[in-house]
Amino acid sequence: MASDWRDKKLYPLLGILLLSIFLYFNLGSNPITFPILWQSHMGFVSANSTHFIIVNPRAPLENQSTFYINGWNSYWLMQESVWAGPSRSRVSKMLKKGAEMGLTVCRTWAFNDGVGPNALQISPGVFNERVFRGLDYVIVEARKRGIRLILSLVNNLSNFGGKAQYVRWAQEAGHNVSSSTDSFFSHPMIKDYYKAYVKAILSRKNSLSGVKYADEPAIFAWELMNEPRCSSSSSGPILQ
């Protein structure tokens, strides 16, 4: 009888403790993630002359499926995915709604350079793993819905840091850099910062799926910059 009484008290207490631990890690400051054991098959998109195609390595070129883009822009997905809970739910609902409407591609940010507690790149080559896991979540959810992503890698504008933040980083490091944000396109150190960032993104292994971003078919394309402009060279060679 004494053993039964202890069990009746012990099991509810253990249940409450486990629930508290789960909520703390998922809704607190250090959300944990659980690996995805299975993902739906998704072929890479490639180009064939003037058409996009979904690559099936077992089929001849003339029998590849044509891929049609019908897309939208939701720049905020990574920022909303940083914390588990209602904000992540909004991301899932957005991607689900897009799929239900027959949309196929979503364009979103894969950057936040040095701005606020949710900066992805805190300083050149230094990343916030918590924010990176938010981007991991966006990619996994997109693939689950059959949506492909265009990931933009830096902003021309100052929102979310942008090229102006890269210029500041170079100045703070003691480099002789013009205050013009057009230095982003020409200064060797700033170009190295950006190249290192691109390499870090491409080599990132998704914490949920285990798939490197470079090997992820849910990533349709990489956008080198959002709305690029170079005021000091209106004809374009420096930008190019």
Instruction: Please state the pTM of the whole predicted model.
Output: 0.83
Which residues fall within 8 angstroms of residue 180, CB to CB, at 6 or more apart? 167, 231, 232
Burial (CB < 10 A; 0-12, 13-18, 19+), residue 116, is: exposed
Q: Identify whether residues 28 and 74 lie together within a single domain.
A: no
Query: Based on the structure, what is the number of domains in the chain?
Result: 2
Domain hosting residue 177, numbered range: 70-238
Residue found under tokens 């995915």: 81
Q: Identify whether residues 15 and 113 lie together within a single domain.
A: no
**Confidence (pLDDT) at 112:** 98
Give domain status of residue 37, yes or no.
no
Q: Identify whether residues 113 and 196 lie together within a single domain.
A: yes
Averages of pLDDT over runs of 10 residues in the chain (240 residues) are 58 65 44 61 91 85 86 97 92 98 98 95 97 98 97 97 97 93 95 98 97 97 96 85
Which residue, among 151, 144, 45, has the nearest Cα to 106 in the 3D structure? 151
CA end-to-end span of the chain, whole Å? Answer: 81
Give domain status of residue 40, yes or no.
no
Give domain status of residue 65, yes or no.
no
**Confidence (pLDDT) at 3:** 57
Q: Identify whether residues 86 and 170 lie together within a single domain.
A: yes
Q: Identify whether residues 15 and 97 lie together within a single domain.
A: no
**Confidence (pLDDT) at 172:** 96
Give domain status of residue 198, yes or no.
yes
**Confidence (pLDDT) at 61:** 72
Q: Is the sign of the CA dihedral 167, 171, 174, 178 positive or negative?
A: positive
Which residues fall within 8 angstroms of residue 101, CB to CB, at 6 or more apart? none
